[in-house]
């Protein structure tokens, strides 16, 4: 199975700085081939995700916070590609809701034996999302 890790290097806590080391150390290489990409600007996670879809990745892992998760998830809606999350944001509400460990090494290990589940998605004003929406100041951020 092919995994694409999309890392937001400026997300929340900065825990993602060592993500490559954790992936190399803990991801089961007998089960997974993987590639890591880093976002460089706003909305870049969407661009990387679209490319990963065209390159036939089976799993796309968001490494960041709820904003990163939402960017990637919005591109995966109506596909057969699995979304995974390694929580590295300031809130990480979605990751914790689906049971991901707060410890990055343990979260990478979880990927090796994780189950998938179908989740609901929403659309508002043409924008797709799974976890985060807001109005007013929230939407501006």
* Counted domains in the chain: 1
pLDDT tens digits, 71-93:
999 999 889 999 998 988 777 76
pLDDT (0 to 100) of residue 118? 75
Question: C-alpha 76: how far from its chain's center?
Answer: 11
Tell me the residue range of the domain where 59 lies: 2-140
Using CA atoms, how far residue 120 sits from 1, 56, 73, 74, 82, in Å, is 24, 23, 11, 12, 13
pTM assigned to the model: 0.85
- Enumerate residues 6+ apart whose C-beta is below 8 A from 55: 2, 4
Helix 44-54 with 66-76: angle, nearest 10 deg: 40
* Mean pLDDT value across residues 118-135: 69
Specify the CATH number for the domain of residue 123.
3.40.50.10330
pLDDT (0 to 100) of residue 133? 63
Task: Report the distance separating Cα 16 and Cα 116, nearest Å.
Answer: 23
pLDDT (0 to 100) of residue 1? 94
| Residue that wins the pLDDT comparison between 25 and 136 | 25
Does the structure show a pLDDT above 70 at 100? Answer: yes
pLDDT (0 to 100) of residue 129? 66
């Amino acid at each position: 199975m092919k995994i694409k890790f999309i890392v937001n290097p400026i997300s929340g806590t900065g825990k993602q700085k060592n993500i490559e080391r954790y992936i190399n150390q803990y991801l089961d290489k007998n089960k997974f081939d993987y590639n890591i990409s880093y976002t460089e600007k706003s909305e870049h996670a969407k661009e990387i995700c679209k490319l990963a879809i065209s390159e036939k990745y089976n799993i796309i892992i968001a490494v960041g916070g709820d904003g990163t998760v939402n960017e990637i998830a919005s591109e995966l809606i109506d596909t057969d590609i699995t979304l995974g999350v390694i929580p590295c944001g300031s809130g990480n509400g979605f990751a914790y809701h689906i049971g991901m460990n707060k410890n990055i090494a343990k979260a990478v290990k979880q990927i090796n034996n994780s189950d998938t589940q179908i989740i609901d998605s929403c659309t508002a004003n043409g924008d797709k999302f799974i976890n985060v929406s807001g109005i007013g100041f929230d939407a501006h951020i």
